[in-house]
Amino acid sequence: MGVGMQIAYFGFAGSARIEAEASVQLMRLGRFDGKIANCQLVVKALRESDGRTLYDARLDLLARDRELTPSMRCTYADPLVAIRHAFDAAEAMLLRAQLDES
């Protein structure tokens, strides 16, 4: 089956490096492909008052039953770290749900 993914960038153009990292992280969710149909990764550039840019990443999961499950937002100075943490949060949420079912 496989899990599909869309990526949306807000406030910046994104990059091939970010898309490659998101693809690698998506493979971690492959073991849940019986439950997940699709996911949406949203990465926003946030400009701080001191001139720094932070990146906010959120991964929303669409279950096979069409229920949308948002995960927590992860904000870091490095967009790759923000993405990894967003996938960490989604994976932890899926593992908890799996334990609750058993």
What are phi and psi for residue 45, nearest 5 degrees?
-90, 125
Question: What residue ranges define each of the domains in the chain, with the CATH number in brackets?
Answer: 4-101 (3.30.160.100)
State the pLDDT at residue 75. Answer: 96
Which string of DSSP letters, residue by residue, matches 28-83?
HGGGGTTTEEEEEEEEEEEE-TTS-EEEEEEEEEEETTS-EEE---EEESSHHHHH
Distance CA 32, CA 67 (A): 15
Q: Is the dihedral of CA 84, 26, 67, 63 positive or negative?
A: negative
Low-confidence ranges of the chain (pLDDT < 70): 1, 102
State the pLDDT at residue 4. Answer: 87
Helix-helix angle 16-28:79-101, to 10 degrees? 20
State the pLDDT at residue 64. Answer: 82
State the pLDDT at residue 1. Answer: 55
